[in-house]
Amino acid sequence: MSPGRRLPDLLRRYLPILSWGAEYNRRTAINDLVVAVIVTVMLIPQSLAYAMLAGLPPQVGLYASMAPLLLYAIFGTSRTLAVGPVAVASLMTAAAAGAIAAQGTPEYLGAAVALALISGLLLIAMGVMRLGFLANFLSHPVISGFITASGIQIAASQLAPVLGIAAGGHNLLDLLTDLWRNVGETNLHTAAIGFATLAFLFLVRSRLKPLLLAMGLGARAADTLVKVAPAMAIVATTVAVWAFSLADRGVEIVGVVPQGLPRITLPPLDPALWLSILVPALLIPIVGYVESISVALTLAAKRRQRVDPDQELIALGAANVGSAVSGGFPVTGGFSRSVVNFDAGAETPAAGAFTAVGIALATLFLTPLLFYLPKATLAATIIVAVLTLVDLGALKRTWIYSRADFAAMAATILVTLAVGIEAGLIVGVSLSVFLHLYRTSKPHVATVGQVPGTEHFRNVLRHEVVTDPQILSMRVDESLYFPNARFLEDTINQAVADNPAVRHVILVCPAVNSIDASALESLEAINSRLEDGGITLHLSEVKGPVMDQLKRSHFLEELTGQVHLTQYDAVASINSELAQRTLEAQRSSSSLS
């Protein structure tokens, strides 16, 4: 490759906009504009609601829905992913910032903004260093359990604004205790608005869509109408509060939302603050990335498009940094907004950029209209949205499929609800890594014998095979690495202690894909221990790459026996050696007599 071409290639890799932007035309632009109008209508209430869930002023939700969309349009590889505030990340932000300061203080807001900045920088670093595999540490049972628990926790937390009371807590137990204590102070007007909105939204979801379909409306149009329903609820309840002066009767309203675009500012760069939010700042982007990449892959597959997981880290990172410098909080690719974007027919990330413009216009001109918007309505929209995240059936399916995975999922749910969201994630990840290592720590080891009349060797417990009491052949059905290295030592030690006649041990290795330094040490220990006991160790059917690696150690020089190409060769060569010895022994005894 000529040096002159390298820079554009690199640019194209890190700036996917250069690829789709070159083909952009008037038709696509008009299409993307129409999509942006629909998505904007859906995003305004969602942004306000998730800001409230995160314990932040409503405009922060709007701020977090502008710059991120623009930056994702430049750096993102998915054509249809829509980034912005989402439920789980908002809950995590509230938990992390709440540990630093009280809601409503500048420190709280500062912590939320700093979370977005650190998350963003971390994601970019992971993307540049191609560390996307880190997200794999969140196994599916853990992420599924975590999202279910988060959904329950969020729904419960939003009962308080629906009832017009105060209640909080870092876990479900604290929250329910608080709710129970304060339920007597319920504001009936607020509760009326809250429950009416809940009922409306549930009905729209369960009845309106089938009705619209029956009336001959297309599935996509029906879906879009359902997604716009929260906006309708917001208009209706805002008008009701204004018309009947319900704010004077104790209904909490959004109040003044500062008009105008966010100022670009540097987020707080206090090292003590950064250190104190480091753990959530590590967890939020990873959870967000897992959610985002799975949405992106799902949508891309429908149109056979590519998504580059490493570039997605950079794009999501840029979106978060953008959110931070424009006064927003952590964002990620959201499922529902991306699906609306996709279903409405978005063709390029420009639809996202146009949506950002839509939100900016709303922030400039519509915020006075939000003055009378009751918080109970926002809470109700959150509850309806997050209950779709709760999937308790997954517990049963996972139980049937795998007990280890069930344990990881159940532990994540229980600890998240009983202790808190960070503890739940950490316990879940640790347990799933632990169970994985446990599973691989006891590999299947079979003693094998020869199938009579063939060159095949099979498990002595399952087949009629021939064995020689002086030769012990053991097949290991797993790569050899530290979780099972000592197990191999124990297993061979026991087998040899149980078979006093054994003079040769053959390790049959067709399933061994690698041998790490721990396993090498164990093999050396096995070799020298067997030698002390007068037994020769052989290997057979060692794969090429494994043999190459063994050649870089002293093991093959120390090995008392040979490495044989096939198990058949191994047994044949040892048998001929044993026969030779017996012959020599007979000769020497006959010459003595």
Which of the residues 437 through 456 are near its own copies (CB under 8 A)? 437-439, 441-442
* Interacting residues with its own copies between 190 and 229 (CB under 8 A): none
419 interacts with its own copies by CB under 8 A: no
23 interacts with its own copies by CB under 8 A: no
122 interacts with its own copies by CB under 8 A: no
Q: Which CB sits closer to its own copies, 129 or 256? A: 129
- Cβ 340 to its own copies shortest distance, Å: 17
- Cβ 139 to its own copies shortest distance, Å: 4
Backbone angles phi, psi at 457, to 5 degrees: -120, 135
314 burial type by CB count under 10 A (0-12 exposed, 13-18 middle, 19+ buried): buried
494 interacts with its own copies by CB under 8 A: yes
Q: Which CB sits closer to its own copies, 82 or 476? A: 476
* Interacting residues with its own copies between 543 and 562 (CB under 8 A): 549, 552-554
Q: Which of 90, 153, 237, 522 binds its own copies (CB under 8 A)?
A: 522
Q: Which CB sits closer to its own copies, 133 or 365? A: 133
* Interacting residues with its own copies between 245 and 274 (CB under 8 A): none
496 interacts with its own copies by CB under 8 A: yes
398 interacts with its own copies by CB under 8 A: yes
Distances (CA, A) of 329 to 96, 103, 120: 12, 14, 10
* Interacting residues with its own copies between 304 and 323 (CB under 8 A): 304-307, 309
Q: Which of 59, 153, 484, 540 binds its own copies (CB under 8 A)?
A: 484
Q: Which CB sits closer to its own copies, 104 or 545? A: 545
Q: What is the DSSP string of 128-173?
A: HTT-GGGGGGS-HHHHHHHHHHHHHHHHHHTHHHHHT-----SSHH
501 interacts with its own copies by CB under 8 A: no
* Interacting residues with its own copies between 523 and 542 (CB under 8 A): 525, 529-530, 532-533
Amino acid at 335: F
CA distance linking residue 537 with residue 552, whole number of Å: 19
20 interacts with its own copies by CB under 8 A: no
Amino acid at 69: L
CA distance linking residue 487 with residue 519, whole number of Å: 10
134 burial type by CB count under 10 A (0-12 exposed, 13-18 middle, 19+ buried): middle
- Cβ 377 to its own copies shortest distance, Å: 35
Stretch that binds its own copies, among 9-17, 71-79, 303-311, 350-358 (CB under 8 A): 303-311
Would you say 484 and 441 are in contact if contact means Cβ atoms under 8 Å apart?
yes
* Interacting residues with its own copies between 125 and 154 (CB under 8 A): 133, 135-137, 139-141, 144
CA distance linking residue 442 with residue 374, whole number of Å: 59
Residues in the chain: 593
- Cβ 130 to its own copies shortest distance, Å: 11
The side-by-side arrangement of strands in the sheet containing 457-459 is 457-459, 445-450, 471-476, 504-508, 536-540, 563-564
Q: Which residues touch 497 (CB under 8 Å, ≥6 apart)?
A: none
Residue count at the site for its own copies (CB under 8 A)? 71
Q: Which CB sits closer to its own copies, 430 or 467? A: 430
* End-to-end CA separation in angstroms for the chain: 82
Q: Which CB sits closer to its own copies, 457 or 481? A: 481
CA distance linking residue 376 with residue 379, whole number of Å: 5
* Interacting residues with its own copies between 91 and 120 (CB under 8 A): none
Scanning 533-566, the segments in alpha helix (DSSP H) are 544-550, 555-558
Would you say 155 and 423 are in contact if contact means Cβ atoms under 8 Å apart?
no
- Cβ 528 to its own copies shortest distance, Å: 8
Q: Which CB sits closer to its own copies, 279 or 496? A: 496
518 interacts with its own copies by CB under 8 A: yes
Q: Which CB sits closer to its own copies, 181 or 554? A: 554
- Cβ 488 to its own copies shortest distance, Å: 11
Would you say 356 and 65 are in contact if contact means Cβ atoms under 8 Å apart?
yes
